[in-house]
Amino acid sequence: MITEKKLTNSANSTPASEVGGFYNFDEIIDRHDTGAIKIERCKALFGTEDLLPLWVADMDFRTPDFIFEAICERCNHPILGYSMPPKDFFQTLMNWIKQQHQWDVKRQWIGFLPGIVPGISFAVHTFSHLGEEIIIQPPVYYPFINVVKKNNRELVFNQLKIVDGKFEMDFDDLEKKITTKTKLFILCNPHNPGGRTWDTETLIQLADICAKRNIIVVSDEIHADMALPGQRHTPFATVSENAANISLTYMAPSKTFNMPGLISSSYIIPNPEIRIKFETFLENSELTGGNIFAYIATQAAYQKGNEWRIQMLNYVQKNIDFVVNYLKNNIPQVVPMIPEASFLIWLNCKELGLETDELQEFFVTKAGLGLNKGTIFGPGGEYHLRLNVACPLSILVQAMEQLSLAVNS
């Protein structure tokens, strides 16, 4: 078996972009010895380092050159002191949101957030008390589960349904699950791991139910800028007055521009009562600021990054198409859920006849592939694995060939 380390070239072997402004997403970059979680935690998670790690939701594409240029320019100054956001920082964020999502965000609605998962925890502390209930929709991004449980709130599952190969919300179940103790609903929009871009009608119905029962909705929209070609992201807060009045929306450049290590996010809260409570918690906890490079990189991404974003998404779509077609033609026992956003594919492997733990073990020991085990995403994750396709196509070709050999043998 060929591991990723043997496949890779030097990170400096290929320029960030080719002649004519076309970015090179085929470049293979060795991420060993850089502290990359996807590499460093393989032994602990999978029991071996001899595999292709396709699990952590960051990209193996070079972080765009305009991000590095902005950081390097700031490093020309010899002092990295306490820093405010650049004067036009929030206007840059507002311009990007208007351009990408047709949402006119007011300056007073928006603020800096040191990470989206921490932001969810902040909302849990601000708007609920010990023992009160928080609803999530599994299978869903597993830190939602961790944040609720570790903060000693009651976790309530409103499990998603699969209709025509896509996730759908089960509103009948949702209304049954809500009680007088229910205070928060954590929404994943677009959905991870299913890649669903929730439509306006679905979000309106969700907003109406939650508004009627005085439930605050925290909408994790970290994948908002990654709707795939032909798809559209709809921010939850934009679909109705009810949605705007009960919501906190979290966005970030980190997934889109492959810079999650810089920890840069933002919140948008139209309702002044909710916003004041949230901002008071941040101020009292000294959590209102970010590091100097987070500001600079975010501004560079939103000012200069749209062409890179478009080319990246076109490449990711080709990778998705390759995996979907390969599985259909060579490994029909593994059925992918076709994503509408981002670079993650939810794989239904039930026809392989293995329980979830056995399934992951099979992928690791027989196919040499490290994927996320479906059960960490909660109920509905049984017999599933999550595959990250934000890597050079050659890596995916090797991964599919290894899987095909393992299944057919």
Per residue in 256-295, pLDDT (tens digit) is 999 999 999 999 999 999 999 999 999 999 998 889 999 9
Model confidence at 11, pLDDT cuts 50, 70, 90, reads very low
CATH topology of domain 4-60+306-408: Aspartate Aminotransferase, domain 1 (3.90.1150)
| Amino acid 289: pLDDT | 86
pTM, entire model: 0.94
Handedness of CA 254, 257, 261, 266 (dihedral sign): negative
Which distant-in-sequence residues (6+ apart) come within 8 Å of 103 by Cβ?
97, 235, 237, 238
Model confidence at 4, pLDDT cuts 50, 70, 90, reads very low
Fold matches, 4-60+306-408 and 71-304: no
Amino acid, single-letter form, for residue 341: A
Locate 238 and state its tokens: 């934009």
Does residue 10 have a pLDDT over 60? no
Cα 57 to chain center, whole Å? Answer: 7
Mean pLDDT computed over every residue of the chain: 94
Does residue 20 have a pLDDT over 60? no
| Amino acid 234: pLDDT | 98
| Amino acid 89: pLDDT | 97
Kindly provide the b/e burial profile for residues 340-377, where b requires at least 16 CB atoms within 10 angstroms of the residue's own CB. Answer: bbbbbbbbbbbebeeebeebbebbbeebbbbbbbbbbb
User: What tens digit of pLDDT does each residue of 199-257 get?
Assistant: 999 999 999 999 999 999 999 999 999 999 999 999 999 999 999 999 999 999 999 99
Closest Cα partner for 337 from 194, 233, 142, 230?
Answer: 194
| Amino acid 57: pLDDT | 97
Closest Cα partner for 189 from 172, 175, 174, 206?
Answer: 206
Q: Give the whole-angstrom CA distance, residue 329 versus residue 322.
A: 11
Does residue 322 have a pLDDT over 90? yes
- Burial of 280 from C-beta contacts in 10 A (0-12 / 13-18 / 19+): exposed
- pLDDT exceeding 70 applies to what percent of the chain? 95
- pLDDT exceeding 90 applies to what percent of the chain? 94
- The residue ranges of every structural domain in the chain are 4-60+306-408, 71-304
Q: Give the whole-angstrom CA distance, residue 393 versus residue 396.
A: 5
Which CA distances in Å does 98 have to 92, 109, 275?
10, 14, 20
- Burial of 131 from C-beta contacts in 10 A (0-12 / 13-18 / 19+): exposed
The arithmetic mean of pLDDT across residues 304-320, rounded, is 98
Does residue 110 have a pLDDT over 70? yes
The arithmetic mean of pLDDT across residues 74-89, rounded, is 95
Does residue 5 have a pLDDT over 80? no
Q: Which of 4-18, 61-75, 263-277, 329-343 has the lowest mean pLDDT?
A: 4-18
User: What tens digit of pLDDT does each residue of 230-241 get?
Assistant: 999 999 999 999
Does residue 14 have a pLDDT over 70? no
Closest Cα partner for 218 from 206, 227, 201?
Answer: 206
Amino acid, single-letter form, for residue 244: A
User: What tens digit of pLDDT does each residue of 176-187 get?
Assistant: 999 999 999 999
Select the more confidently predicted residue: 319 or 6.
319
Model confidence at 41, pLDDT cuts 50, 70, 90, reads very high
| Amino acid 6: pLDDT | 37
Give the alpha-carbon dihedral of 291, 296, 298, 299, to 10 degrees: 140
SS (H, E, C) the chain: CCCHHHHCECCCCCCCECCCCCECCCCCECCCCCCCHHHHCHHHHHCCCCCEECCCCCCCCCCCHHHHHHHHHHHCCCCCCCCCCCCCHHHHHHHHHHHHHCCCCCHHHEEEECCHHHHHHHHHHHHCCCCCEEEECCCCCCHHHHHHHHCCCEEEECCCEEECCEEECCHHHHHHHCCCCEEEEEEECCCCCCCCCCCHHHHHHHHHHHHHCCCEEEEECCCHHHECCCCCCCCHHHCCHHHHHHEEEEECCCCCCCCHHHCCEEEECCCHHHHHHHHHHHHHCCCCCCCHHHHHHHHHHHHHCHHHHHHHHHHHHHHHHHHHHHHHHHCCCCEEECCCECCEEEEECHHHCCCHHHHHHHHHHCCCEECEEHHHHCCCCCCEEEEECCCCHHHHHHHHHHHHHHHHC
CATH topology of domain 71-304: Aspartate Aminotransferase; domain 2 (3.40.640)
Locate 31 and state its tokens: 């991420």
